[in-house]
Amino acid sequence: MTQLIEDLRNCLRARAHAGRPITYRDLAEAISMPPPHRIHNLTLALEDLMREDHAAQRPLLAALAVSRGAAGIPGRGFFQLLTELGRYEGPDQGPTAQSHYRRELAAAIDYWANCPEKAP
């Protein structure tokens, strides 16, 4: 596992324990993501994390990372990757996306907040 993915997992697991998501900007700062293109590189790493969790049949820890927009949900790329992975069929914004996201977030918090410390 790369150091970046390990740092992401550690930070997002702490958020799962707290029961609250974190914005992409705050997450980038928390893991000391270097510029340039911090948010873009962060989202690519979050997508890798999503693929790993999906392949291992775990709830998506990346669900704890959200856009700073009013909806408080991940960006469109999150939903597009969910669709690619066969986990979601619907729009990448709006009430349907928000509802599906709330389920993904609840599953992630439930699983990761109670997961043994050494689990990936």
According to the model, what pLDDT value does residue 53 have?
A: 96
Mean pLDDT of the region 102-115: 95
Q: What is the pLDDT of residues 31-81, one digit of tens each?
A: 999 999 999 999 999 999 999 999 999 999 999 999 988 688 999 999 999
Whole-angstrom CA distances from 50 to 35, 36, 70, 95 are 22, 23, 23, 22
Identify the three-state secondary structure at position 23: strand
Q: What is the pLDDT of residues 2-37, one digit of tens each?
A: 899 999 999 999 999 999 999 999 999 999 999 999
Q: Is the pLDDT of residue 116 over 90?
A: no
